[in-house]
Structure 1
């Protein structure tokens, strides 16, 4: 019997590995070992909090996992998948409303190029070298289709993010050589469906969920199903 690949789950800006708790529980119940990464940052994990530091952190996580990996990124962390996702053990990648970027692009350059984002440059505060998103803004942009309790809980756990996470320029595109799938969230207020579909056209396959920006909270079963189906495909 073939061992199921380890699913490595990477969170978006201001979040932590906790954002994947429900999805990870469902995947592990169905026999998929999971690693929910918490990237370095203020009030988060120790280490280099910059975009490059995050890329190196993810590369180190992947290097420490024996066997095959399916790498899953949400929102900002799609940029990290492009940089680190061609590690030798990565068999496939899933972008969940995530920034699937070409070399030379950044999260800011793509998300701010089109009108409509409610978590864009004008919705974020810069304090020193960090970016802050206020709880009310996060509830509206990230969690509008979540339960009020889940929205309040998640907004209360957000932490500052280094400014380079938005502006860091991508130098690689691992999705060109690693089988990849994009999950478009059609009710997303943070990364508009139009921007997502533009990026989704770059990869091998795509699907859509009628969800806001945080489907791992609002519909974890559907997200787990997307990952499971793709994992089975790349194993086959």
Structure 2
């Protein structure tokens, strides 16, 4: 790898209830190909300290980005697509990748988009509110998020999920950074949490789209394909140069 034109850092952001652990396999593959990776863990109960609200998540991600020297490819899964749209035009972000992620217009929220179409197995009727948090039960998570993973991976991931602040699902975004930053959408065609139809509606907002025959969690079930999608889009946009 040339020191004159280093590869960009890939910043990986997880979805609701998850943590930076969800990206471990993809990060290992990207690092083997020469990329530095940052696996973000957003504030929340049982996760990173700090403000667990949507605004707190945005501020946390901005802080992470500010601490990265050089160019960034920003990757979001599921809920964190809303964060990419809100703060993804930070000065060092050169490209973004939405992996079954919420690519939202101003005024939309994760909940309003996901609940507008029937079929999600992780919609408002599938999760529980406990105080100020939202909880998804392990059995529900295994069926909605990990049905193409090995049983061992599905059980291990479901047991690591943590409560999410109730407001993040229904907070409306105010910005759409994907309009100004080259962005790619990875549609997961077997997804039971964010249905393929909902994903394709959001993907149509972008100029670059690919599809994986995957559940909602391809970072666990097919990490090589996810890593390839990231590096290929980075190369096409010049973020790899």
TM-score range, shorter chain: over 0.9
How many residues are matched?
Answer: 236
Aligned to 1:130: 133
Q: Does 1:27 align with 2:24?
A: no
Aligned to 1:51: 54
Once residues 168 and 11 of structure 2 are traced to their aligned partners in structure 1, the CA distance between those partners, rounded to angstroms, is 20
Q: CA deviation at 1:148?
A: 0.1
Residues 56-91 of structure 1: CA distance to partner in whole angstroms, max 9, x if unpaired? 100111111110000000000000000110001000
Q: CA deviation at 1:173?
A: 0.2
Q: Does 1:102 align with 2:105?
A: yes
TM-score, structure 1 as length reference: 0.99
TM-score, structure 2 as length reference: 0.97
Q: Does 1:74 align with 2:58?
A: no
Aligned to 1:194: 197
Once residues 207 and 132 of structure 2 are traced to their aligned partners in structure 1, the CA distance between those partners, rounded to angstroms, is 37
| 3-state secondary structure, aligned to 1:187 | coil
Once residues 203 and 48 of structure 1 are traced to their aligned partners in structure 2, the CA distance between those partners, rounded to angstroms, is 30
- Provide structure 2 residue ranges, at least 5 long, that are not aligned to the other structure: none
Once residues 57 and 171 of structure 2 are traced to their aligned partners in structure 1, the CA distance between those partners, rounded to angstroms, is 11
Once residues 75 and 56 of structure 2 are traced to their aligned partners in structure 1, the CA distance between those partners, rounded to angstroms, is 18
Q: CA deviation at 1:232?
A: 1.0
| 3-state secondary structure, aligned to 1:113 | coil
Residues 95-131 of structure 1: CA distance to partner in whole angstroms, max 9, x if unpaired? 0000000000000000000000000000000000000
| 3-state secondary structure, aligned to 2:51 | coil
Q: Quote the RMSD (CA, aligned, Å).
A: 0.6
